[in-house]
């Protein structure tokens, strides 16, 4: 059974007289445990799709099935619970609280979460066992992104959604972050969707979804995804 299934999803923004079809009839499916990459030009609708999947935004029409439930039917309250408990988010910018340590940043996010993992254990898993007491300003960009990944993973989410997670990092640091995401996907059987402009990442994915002008322009399954070393 498909773990994620979008059926003819649209998102239209009305700007006065003008309608912007940010998402214009998108359908795709993802299996549980897949590492999926979403690519496409700027303005194609990638972020809008990710925000709809994460319950941060509502579609104008269409069905959004996650683990057997159509979240487009959720009330606002249900959608808030879904966003808090079922989804992990990683963004280009790390959004860490500057006056909290790495450990405190992760613990803070877990307070509104039903069934969290241990913050310290997850920080060790992402390679920050010796940085628990550091403040964000004392960490490199790659390390800050690791904290934000730990914060997302510690929620023990059904789905990890990443919007340009390497966008602010140099090539090699970006690669190590992608490797971490791939490892977490493989080790936990977690479903991971990553928006990226980084072409190095496509060979690592189980599935590559190309979005153009609010539509899926291409979708390919990768028979032998590469492990990053």
What x/- string results for residues 136 through 175 when contact with ligand ADP is judged by CB under 6 A?
A: ---------------------------xx-----------
Alpha carbon separation from 119 to 4, 94, 107, 142 (Å, rounded): 27, 17, 6, 18
Residue 47 touches ligand ADP, criterion: CB under 6 A: yes
Which residue in the set 6, 26, 37, 44 belongs to the binding site for ligand ADP (CB under 6 A)? 44
Number of residues that bind ligand ADP (CB under 6 A): 13
Residue 40 touches ligand ADP, criterion: CB under 6 A: yes
Report the residue number, 117 or 219, with the smaller CB distance to ligand ADP. Answer: 219
Which residue in the set 1, 18, 42, 115 belongs to the binding site for ligand ADP (CB under 6 A)? 42
Q: How far apart are CA 50 and CA 128, in angstroms?
A: 28
- Closest distance of CB 176 from ligand ADP, Å: 21
3-state secondary structure of 18: strand
Residue range at the interface with ligand ADP (CB under 6 A); choices 26-34, 37-45, 135-143, 218-226: 37-45
Alpha carbon separation from 118 to 62, 150, 156, 180, 186 (Å, rounded): 37, 10, 10, 18, 20
Q: Which of 125, 147, 123 is nearest to 136 (CA)?
A: 147
Residue 13 touches ligand ADP, criterion: CB under 6 A: yes
Report the residue number, 44 or 126, with the smaller CB distance to ligand ADP. Answer: 44
Report the residue number, 48 or 198, with the smaller CB distance to ligand ADP. Answer: 48
Q: Which residues of 17-41 are buried (b: 16+ CB within 10 A; e: fewer)?
A: eeeeebbbebebebeeebbbbbbbe
Q: How far apart are CA 86 and CA 207, in angstroms?
A: 22
Report the residue number, 22 or 184, with the smaller CB distance to ligand ADP. Answer: 22
Give, rounded to a whole angstrom, the gap between the first and last alpha carbons of the chain.
31
Residue 95's Cβ-side half-sphere holds a number of Cα atoms within 13 Å equal to 13
- Closest distance of CB 47 from ligand ADP, Å: 3
Report the residue number, 22 or 216, with the smaller CB distance to ligand ADP. Answer: 22
The contact set with ligand ADP (CB under 6 A) reads 13, 20, 22, 40, 42-48, 163-164
């Amino acid at each position: 059974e498909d773990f994620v299934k979008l059926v003819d999803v649209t998102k239209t923004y009305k700007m006065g007289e003008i309608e912007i079809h940010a998402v214009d009839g998108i359908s795709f499916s993802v299996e549980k445990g897949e590492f999926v990459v979403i690519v496409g030009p700027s303005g194609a609708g990638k972020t809008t799709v990710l925000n709809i999947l994460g319950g941060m935004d509502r579609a104008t029409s269409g069905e959004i099935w996650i683990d057997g439930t159509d979240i487009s039917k959720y009330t606002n309250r249900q959608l808030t619970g879904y966003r808090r408990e079922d989804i992990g988010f990683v963004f280009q910018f790390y959004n860490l609280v500057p006056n909290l340590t790495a450990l405190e940043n992760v613990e803070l996010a877990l307070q509104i979460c039903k069934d969290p993992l241990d913050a310290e254990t997850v920080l060790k898993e992402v390679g920050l066992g010796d940085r628990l007491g550091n403040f964000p300003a004392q960490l490199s960009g790659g390390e800050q992104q690791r904290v934000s990944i730990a914060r997302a993973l510690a929620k023990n989410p059904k789905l990890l959604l990443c919007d340009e997670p390497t966008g602010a990092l140099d090539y090699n640091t970006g690669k190590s972050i992608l490797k971490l995401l791939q490892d977490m996907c493989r080790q936990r059987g977690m479903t991971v969707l990553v928006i990226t402009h980084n072409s190095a990442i496509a060979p690592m994915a189980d599935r590559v979804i190309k979005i153009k002008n609010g539509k899926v322009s291409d979708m390919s399954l990768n028979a032998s995804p590469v492990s990053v070393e």
